[in-house]
Amino acid sequence: MSAALDLQDKDLLRTEAFIGGAWVAADKGKSFAVLSPANGSELVGVADCGVAETRRAIEAADGAGPAWAALTGKERGQVLRRWFDLITQHQEDLARIMTAEQGKPLAEARGEIAYGAGFVEWAAEEAKRVYGDVVPPFRKGARTLVLKQPLGVVAAITPWNFPSAMITRKCAPALATGCTLVIKPAEQTPLSALALAVLAERAGLPPGALNIVTAHDPAPVGAELTGNPRVRKVSFTGSTEVGKLLMRQAADGVKKMSLELGGNAPFIVFDDADLPRAVEGVLASKFRNAGQTCVCANRIYVQAGIYDAFAAALGKAMQALKTGPGDVPDVHIGPLIDDAAIRKVETLVEDAKKQGGKVTAGGARHALGGLFYEPTLIEGAHGAMRLAHEEIFGPVAALFRFGDEAEVIALANDTEYGLAAYFYTRDLGRAFRVAEALEAGIVAVNEGVFSTETAPFGGVKQSGFGREGSHYGTDEFVNVKYVLMGGIDGEPA
């Protein structure tokens, strides 16, 4: 086992799947390797489950559902509160596990654990506030009630870029409303998911309420999760391509879905922007997780009057970015997740160069080798480049020059995606006009970071639908039932 996984609480490192409250090997005894993106070494082997194990996990979740749903919201909230406390107490170990399997700098991993724990804390507080409605009667002798009831079994399919927070963001509100879950974590990063399950078990979550099926090949597990009639909702974070496939698979069972898919975020800097703040915002948005988030600035539009000054300031600020393994102190940019990821970044940068883009920083694999890519700045980007239409998912900032507000709104919206958008301006009228005109589920004005458990996260267009975080996120896990209560005799005519 790798030294990177030398933990204070060694019990957090699990390699078996978690089904019906038991830690189990795969039926055929197979396992798959979890690799360190920092050096390619094998960290551990993890149970390689398939359809049979997935089906048993669904049955376990279904079996645990009625008793869990029958608890009061307050009782469910107390379990969630203990889970939150345990996650917080074990923040350092959880962050180390994440850095080892995902590669992100330790400081970012600690931040993700705190961010993810926030969803559990929120759900613990909200479990007793999943209110329905009493609607004024529309008829004498009757009353109109609206109940919110748990959906039942939820399947959560989660990505490698946020191995912990994308799990708690789905599980915590689902558990708060009385749902139970089967989670399929990304094959690159199952260890963070399993560690969360250890803590959920310690917090007193009943057996079967939360199940984790680890698998190297996501396809058969995904097909079972979307096809099994006992699953009532599928919540997925990942690529638009896979989201569409899951949607097709879930269609026959008419399952509820939440899809948080790809993005192509515009980041607009108007002439009147506060330049140092805008540079700080780009750094935060673009280089978080080495550029591997769905909400990373993908197209940076800079107005002609401020373009040169902005490009110079950003280039200078980027010189301070240190690349290296995530467990080395002061590193800002870790490795990319795998070979496919670094090859894609290379291809996009090569295409941009061929099409006249000027690389003023980076532009190649890092001297460290492996999966490290240099923080890169490309000036003179334009709409014919592939990176204008495809998610870069790497540490590459591409600057596009624009003339006026109407032009940049049209450019920003000229994409099939609509997850996040950012812009910087000091003009209040423009702030409202542009925020309302941008086709995105999230718009950040004069801010480069917006993620929080207290606000709804999600997209429009091919970035998906459904919201995570806040009470909107809780609503994704309930059925709304209208009860007409008649026969109330003796009312005045």
Q: Where in the sequence numbering do the catalytic residues fall?
A: 260, 294
Residue 161 interacts with ligand SIN (CB under 6 A): yes or no: yes
Cα 45 from Cα 131, distance rounded (Å): 44
Which residue reads 């801010």 in tokens? 447
Query: Among residues 408 and 438, whose Cβ is nearest to ligand SIN?
Result: 438
Residue nearest to ligand SIN (CB): 451
Which residue reads 């978690």 in tokens? 18
Q: What is the 3-state secondary structure (H, E, C) of 382-430?
A: CCCCHHHCCCCCCCEEEEEEECCHHHHHHHHHCCCCCCEEEEECCCHHH
Query: Among residues 363 and 395, whose Cβ is nearest to ligand SIN?
Result: 395
Least distance in angstroms from the C-beta of 364 to ligand SIN: 25
Residue 237 interacts with ligand SIN (CB under 6 A): yes or no: yes
SS3 207: coil
DSSP, residue by residue, 256-325: EEEEE----EEEEE-TTS-HHHHHHHHHHHHHGGGG-STTSEEEEEEEHHHHHHHHHHHHHHHTTPPBS-
Least distance in angstroms from the C-beta of 162 to ligand SIN: 5
Q: Is 428 exposed, middle or buried (0-12, 13-18, 19+ CB in 10 A)?
A: exposed
Least distance in angstroms from the C-beta of 322 to ligand SIN: 22
Cα 48 from Cα 416, distance rounded (Å): 35
Cβ atoms of 382 and 433 closer than 8 Å: no
Q: Which of 381, 436, 391 lies closest to 416 in space, CA to CA?
A: 391
What is the contact mask toward ligand SIN in residues 289 to 328, using x (rule: CB under 6 A)? ----xxx---------------------------------
Least distance in angstroms from the C-beta of 328 to ligand SIN: 24
Which residue reads 């467990």 in tokens? 327
Least distance in angstroms from the C-beta of 489 to ligand SIN: 54
Query: Among residues 374 and 468, whose Cβ is nearest to ligand SIN?
Result: 468
Least distance in angstroms from the C-beta of 260 to ligand SIN: 6
Query: Among residues 307 and 457, whose Cβ is nearest to ligand SIN?
Result: 457
Q: What are the residues whose beta carbons fall under 8 Å from the beta carbon of 299, sequence distance 6 or more?
A: 264, 265, 266, 267, 381, 387, 388, 398, 400, 411, 412
Least distance in angstroms from the C-beta of 247 to ligand SIN: 18
Query: Among residues 391 and 405, whose Cβ is nearest to ligand SIN?
Result: 391
Residue 157 interacts with ligand SIN (CB under 6 A): yes or no: no
Report the b/e string of 220-239 with b at 16+ CB within 10 A.
ebbebbbebebbbbbbbbbe
DSSP class of residue 217 equals -
Which residue reads 């040169």 in tokens? 308
Least distance in angstroms from the C-beta of 229 to ligand SIN: 29
Query: Among residues 62 and 260, whose Cβ is nearest to ligand SIN?
Result: 260
Query: Among residues 161 and 298, whose Cβ is nearest to ligand SIN?
Result: 161
Query: Among residues 118 and 325, whose Cβ is nearest to ligand SIN?
Result: 118
Tokens of 181: 């879950």
Cβ atoms of 293 and 111 closer than 8 Å: no
Q: Which of residues 20-39 bind ligand SIN (CB under 6 A)?
A: none
**Binder to ligand SIN among 360, 451, 462, 463 (CB under 6 A)?**
451
Cα 24 from Cα 304, distance rounded (Å): 60
Judged by CB under 6 A, which stretch of 223-231, 273-281, 288-296, 332-340 contacts ligand SIN? 288-296
Cβ atoms of 214 and 17 closer than 8 Å: yes
Least distance in angstroms from the C-beta of 355 to ligand SIN: 27
Number of residues interacting with ligand SIN: please give it, by CB under 6 A. 9
Q: What are the residues whose beta carbons fall under 8 Å from the beta carbon of 29, sequence distance 6 or more?
A: none
Query: Among residues 19 and 259, whose Cβ is nearest to ligand SIN?
Result: 259
Residue 162 interacts with ligand SIN (CB under 6 A): yes or no: yes
Amino acid at position 96, single letter:
R
Cβ atoms of 355 and 400 closer than 8 Å: no
Tokens of 137: 């009667």
Q: Which of residues 189-228 bind ligand SIN (CB under 6 A)?
A: none
Cβ atoms of 181 and 153 closer than 8 Å: yes
Cα 297 from Cα 282, distance rounded (Å): 7
Residue 264 interacts with ligand SIN (CB under 6 A): yes or no: no
Residues that bind ligand SIN (CB under 6 A): 161-162, 237, 260, 293-295, 451, 457
